[in-house]
Amino acid sequence: MKILFTKSFLPYKEQIGKLKSRNLYIANEAFAIKKLSHLNYYRLSAYYLPFYDDKDHFRDGTHFEEIIKLYYFDKKLRNLIFYAIEKIEVYFRSQIAYVLSKDFGAFGYTKSENFTTTTYQHYQLLKDIEKEIKRSKEVFVGHFFEKYLENHLPIWMMVEIVSFGTLSKLYKALNPDQKREITDGIGLPHKVFDSWFHTLVYVRNVCAHHSRIWNKMLAIKPEIPRKIDFFKPLNNKKVFFVLTMIEFILEKIDDDEFILKEELQILLAQHPEIKIENMGFPANWEKLELWRD
């Protein structure tokens, strides 16, 4: 049964009072007000939960600064994951453009017969692509349509415009032959990679919208590869599984500009207070095959 929403505006001073009434220690109210004004009481509320001993009641001795530290750890983790996924995203944009243009030509993506979806589903995909191209402010888009008679961009231009989510839909609709060629060298069945691609889009969007990631239960779980042993004991609802996925792909595509395992170790060393088991890290995770130096 629905109820009437009765919560009202609270000035920062009253927000401080509310937190103190819940047993949170705030030594520097000016600092707390500054952070609440920058970050929003509601955004921070997700970071209160690990410090509760009961509903809306903080454990004895919990300091406001501990919550802020957790928030900034989560922010750094989001940025790290976002940057790592960007490497994968750019790589697969390039691979999709290369394989499809080689196999079907510059505009082969506009032909429904080159995909496994129905004609209508392919039409809907093209509509999504066209909407994103029309919204684009890229100079090369306007230049192309001014110069050429075609109604569509060639695929090597198109992949630079569409969102990662639309790109994943395009990939999912491809024939197995093209999927295998695009993921050649990754060492995963294309059905597993379909699942991973979907999860990477979801996690990227979580990070892009500045949402909590550190102890999140993933709404879109990646499939666990049956033939890769070190994935089997990992919890695929937690962020450590995603980090392991990303590290696995980065090693396969040989992106030596960015070393995720080093960056992750630096981040965790900066925040020894973080309970990494809440993120799905197993004991002695550094000794797992993929994470060893």
Per-residue pLDDT at 160: 95
Please name the helix (run of DSSP H) or strand (run of DSSP E) that holds residue 192, with its range, or none: helix 190-208
Residue 292: predicted pLDDT: 84
pLDDT in tens, 154-205: 999 999 999 999 999 999 999 999 999 999 889 898 889 999 999 999 999 9
82 in the same domain as 56: no
63 phi/psi in degrees, rounded to 5: -105, 145
- pLDDT tens digit sequence for 71-127: 999 999 999 999 999 999 999 999 999 999 999 999 999 999 999 999 999 999 999
Q: What residue type is 78 in one-letter code? A: R
Domain boundary among 20, 39, 62: 62
Q: What is the pLDDT of residue 116?
A: 94
- Tell whether 4 is covered by a domain: no
User: pLDDT tens digits, residue range 6-20?
Assistant: 888 899 999 999 999
pLDDT at 190: 84
Confidence of residue 34 (pLDDT cuts 50, 70, 90): very high
Who's near 177: CB < 8 A, 6+ residues apart? Answer: none
Range of the domain at 25: 12-62
DSSP assigned state of 219: S
Burial 104-142 (b: 16+ CB within 10 A, else e): bebbbbbebebbebeeeebeebbeebbeebeebeeeebe
- Pair (84, 229) in one structural domain: yes
Q: In terms of domains, do 216 and 255 share one?
A: yes
- How many domains does the chain contain in total? 2
pLDDT tens digits, one per residue of 234-276: 999 999 999 999 999 999 997 677 889 999 999 999 999 999 9
Task: Specify the pLDDT at position 49.
Answer: 92
